[in-house]
Copies of this chain bind each other. A is one copy, B any other.
Amino acid sequence: MSERHPDSAAVESRGVQFDLRVCVIPFSVADSGLQVLVRHAAPGGARLPSGNLELGEGLDDCAARIAERALTTAPDYLEQLYTFSVEAARVRVIVAYFALLSAETRSAIERNNGLLFRSVAGLPELPDEDRRMLDYATLRLRAKLGYSNIGFHLLPRLFTLSELQEVYESVIDRKLDKRNFRRRILATGIIEPVGAKRSTNHRPASLYRFAGHDPAIGALTPAAGDGSS
Q: Are B58 and A20 in contact (CB under 8 A)?
A: no
Q: Are B53 and A93 in contact (CB under 8 A)?
A: yes
Q: Which residue of B lies closest to A9 (CB)?
A: B13
Query: CB within 8 A of A83: which of B11, B83, B133?
Result: B83
Q: Are A56 and B228 in contact (CB under 8 A)?
A: no
State in angstroms the CA–CA spacing of A135 and B224 once bound together. Answer: 12
Q: Are B13 and A11 in contact (CB under 8 A)?
A: yes
Q: Are B83 and A58 in contact (CB under 8 A)?
A: no
Contact residues of A between 1 and 49, Cβ < 8 Å to B? 9-18, 20
Is A95 an interface position by the 8 A CB rule?
A: yes
Which of A112-120, A153-161, A179-187, A215-223 forms part of the interface with chain B? A215-223
What number of copies of this chain does the assembly contain? 2
Q: Which of A10, A16, A140 has the most CB of B within 10 A?
A: A16
Q: Which residues of B contact A177 (CB under 8 A)?
A: none
Query: CB within 8 A of A91: which of B12, B58, B143?
Result: B58
State the majority secondary structure of interface residues on A.
Answer: mixed
Instruction: Convert A104-145 into 0s and 1s, putting 1 for each residue whose CB lies closer than 8 angstroms to a CB of B.
Output: 000000000000000000000000010011011001100100
Is A211 an interface position by the 8 A CB rule?
A: no
State in angstroms the CA–CA spacing of A86 and B223 once bound together. Answer: 12
Query: CB within 8 A of A82: which of B14, B20, B80?
Result: B80
State in angstroms the CA–CA spacing of A95 and B85 once bound together. Answer: 11
Instruction: Convert A70-99 into 0s and 1s, putting 1 for each residue whose CB lies closer than 8 angstroms to a CB of B.
Output: 000000000010111111000101010000
Residues of chain A at the chain B interface (Cβ within 8 Å): 9-18, 20, 52-60, 80, 82-87, 91, 93, 95, 129, 132-133, 135-136, 139-140, 143, 219-223, 226-229
Show 26 A/B contacts (Cβ-Cβ < 8 Å), sorted by A. A11-B12, A13-B52, A16-B52, A16-B55, A17-B55, A18-B53, A20-B20, A20-B93, A56-B91, A58-B91, A59-B83, A59-B84, A59-B93, A82-B222, A83-B229, A84-B229, A85-B228, A85-B229, A87-B227, A132-B222, A132-B226, A132-B228, A133-B222, A135-B223, A139-B219, A140-B220
